[in-house]
Structure 1
Amino acid sequence: MSDFSRRTFLAGTATAAAVASGTTSYAGASDGSPSGARRTRTSIYRQNIGEIELLSITDGATSFPRRQDFVTNRSPEDVAQALQQAFFPTDPITLTFTPVVLKSSGKLIVIDTGLGEAAFKQSNGIGGQFHSNLAVAGYDAGSVDRVLITHFHADHIGGLVTADGKPAFPKSEIWVPAAEYAFWMNSGNMAPDASEAMVANFERARRIFGILGDSVKKFAPEMEVAPGVTSIATHGHTPGHTSFIVTSGSDKVIIQGDVTTHPALFIRHPDWHGFTDVDPVMAEQSRRMLYDRIVAERILVHGFHFPFPSLGHLTREDDGYRLMPIMWNPAP
């Protein structure tokens, strides 16, 4: 395993871990579709939410060997069957990374930042594509007014700093969940027998937010964190994991971050627990709470690890839910 692979694996998330594995590939190269299928690399997708413009901007995609404990409370056979029933390969697993950009009331807002420029360089462009794709969309990091973070895993905060360790959004306010910040900044929360992955998470958070310093602001649940954007506590995946609801007129979308990572597994089976969840029981409770609301109110949902462009609706199915992806519309 290369040095980059080892450090990224220790990020503590399956997605970040997989970015640099030997079998990794990005969107447009190998996405689990039939080997003879023609693939197109797509990086940006626009969706109007009332008067707010939402851009899904890819940070890359990854394929990685499925861990035997990818779902901790089900057998590997159950997981393989669920993937097969959803027409996904049983091994490897492919996931995408998709941050969000909002244009709201004259403000440019980024939600999550991907793996970052260092990962882009070290992985030869497999991960960390967000900043270059932001430029393709017509923006640069210096034009961003505010960055909102769902949680502190590597694939969400890595893009906050440049490859040479400077703030990547020099003119932006960085807003993070107060509970998330409090957890990762307190060394007393790291158990004596903490895994290498947890230690790496603590070290990374301190390094990144040490660089950012006074630009970091903390927010609470149910707080308006940007024009038309309100925070929702969805703790469990991490202690302060937060989602956002974006509202303009009668239109709404929920940016759910990592409430679930793989739709065929944790949406379809909300009681399944992912190995990257810090508190899997709480993560399940948050998942059901949020998804019950999404179904009842017929709210559009964006998932960081959903297939690009990462937008869809949820319906109930048996004891779980099903993701209904949006109809792709190439019109701007």
Structure 2
Amino acid sequence: MRFTRRRLLSTGAGLAALSLAPARVWAELALGDAKVTTVSDGSLMLPGDFIFQHMPEAELATVLQEAGVARDRLEPECNVTLYQGGGNTVLFDVGSGPDFMPTAGSVVDSLDAIGVAPDDITHVVFTHAHPDHIWGLLDDFDDPVFANANYMIGRDEWDYWWDPDTVNTIGEARAAFAVGAKRRLEAIEDQIERFDDGQEILPGIAAVASYGHTPGHMSFEIRNGSNAALIAGDAIGNHHVAFRKPDWPSGSDQDAALAAQTRARLFDRLTADDMTLIGFHLPNGGIGRAEQASDGYRFTQDI
């Protein structure tokens, strides 16, 4: 298994100050004869309370200081995973598109920078339907950006966002998430396949239920011979408190208690099987490992 990190300066002079992030960072992982690449969709700009609001402040300050993370403002990367193997070119999630945050929405440009066009994508697989993962589905004419792809989503995740009552029960702060998800799922209703926990959705790719961040969030184990990696989506959503204090409730999770249980289970799996971890919001392209520490876990990219 081979892991490399690269940095590509964004092209195009004259970009507005709040357009794309100043650099696109991606990482690569060789998995047998398959290749995994994370491509940047930019980054988010979030208030600290989006995650930290219900955490114990004194202990939190220590964790954040050690990680070099500010309490009041977060700018997590958005890493979209590309899998190329077995004749398939698979994209896990599609990023934000132009309508969520001005600092995100660059996945098509990042794919272009490594020689992959939207029409090359054979499958789009969704971890979940939050805006930074699914709003990049449609172009300016409301047509799918990845026109040749087959689409796939967990059955429970589909059912949750398809339910017309979700917009009324998700809470005012996330109501726009429900509206946006439903509109995009409607656009591919006749082109999408639903799957269940444990199902091998494509050769070498198996679904792993990781509920809590959303009601039907899915992670994916990709395996080639003895080599394996876990695409965790937002089930492990950052490199600081999620690792050091996985039992703490995060404001980013729709069911914080269930999400904490999921993190504990995934960390057990990652460390027991010595698996590579790929996280949507983890730093430097998001590929690394979870190592047990005296106080929880730590994210390392020395692999």
Same fold by TM-score greater than 0.5: yes
C-alpha contact 1:233 1:242 (8 A) present in aligned 2: yes
Q: Which of 198, 205, 209 matches 1:233?
A: 209
Secondary structure (helix, strand or coil) at the match of 1:98 reads strand
Q: Which of 42, 45, 48 matches 1:60?
A: 42
Alignment partners' CA distance in 2, 1:269 and 1:225: 32
Alignment partners' CA distance in 1, 2:292 and 2:137: 36
Q: Which of 221, 240, 263 matches 1:245?
A: 221
- Distance change (3 Å), C-alpha of 1:118 and 1:63: closer
Q: Deviations over 1:115-160 (max 9, x none)?
A: 01445xx72xx21010111111111111111000000100000111
Alignment partners' CA distance in 2, 1:71 and 1:43: 26
What corresponds to 1:262 in structure 2? Answer: 238
C-alpha contact 2:168 2:175 (8 A) present in aligned 1: no
Give the counterpart letter for 1:130 in structure 2. V
Alignment partners' CA distance in 1, 2:33 and 2:111: 21
- Alignment map for 1:18-167 (pairs within 5 Å): 27-28=21-22, 41-67=23-49, 70-119=51-100, 123=102, 126-167=103-144
Q: CA RMSD in A?
A: 2.0
Give the counterpart letter for 2:76 in structure 1. L
Q: Deviations over 1:220-260 (max 9, x none)?
A: 01111122110000001100000000000111110000012
C-alpha contact 1:245 1:255 (8 A) present in aligned 2: yes
What corresponds to 2:147 in structure 1? Answer: 170
Q: Deviations over 1:83-126 (max 9, x none)?
A: 1122223332221000000111011000011101445xx72xx2
Alignment partners' CA distance in 1, 2:105 and 2:149: 19
After TM superposition, the score normalised by the length of structure 1 is 0.81
Secondary structure (helix, strand or coil) at the match of 2:148 reads coil
- Distance change (3 Å), C-alpha of 1:26 and 1:265: farther
C-alpha displacement of 1:26: 5.6
Alignment partners' CA distance in 1, 2:205 and 2:243: 24
Secondary structure (helix, strand or coil) at the match of 1:70 reads helix
After TM superposition, the score normalised by the length of structure 2 is 0.88
Secondary structure (helix, strand or coil) at the match of 1:101 reads strand
Deviates more, 1:52-61 or 1:90-99: 90-99
Secondary structure (helix, strand or coil) at the match of 2:242 reads helix
Q: Which of 293, 305, 308 matches 2:284?
A: 308
Alignment partners' CA distance in 2, 1:61 and 1:49: 26
Q: Which of 164, 167, 173 matches 1:187?
A: 164
C-alpha displacement of 1:208: 0.3
What corresponds to 1:291 in structure 2? Answer: 267
Equivalent pairs, count: 287
Give the counterpart letter for 2:293 in structure 1. E
Secondary structure (helix, strand or coil) at the match of 1:253 reads strand
- Distance change (3 Å), C-alpha of 1:70 and 1:43: closer
In the alignment, structure 1 residue 207 sits paired with structure 2 residue 183: yes
C-alpha contact 2:24 2:42 (8 A) present in aligned 1: no
In the alignment, structure 1 residue 220 sits paired with structure 2 residue 196: yes
Unaligned regions of 5+ residues in structure 1, if any? 1-22, 29-40, 328-332
Q: What's the % identity of the aligned pairs?
A: 27
Alignment partners' CA distance in 2, 1:320 and 1:45: 25
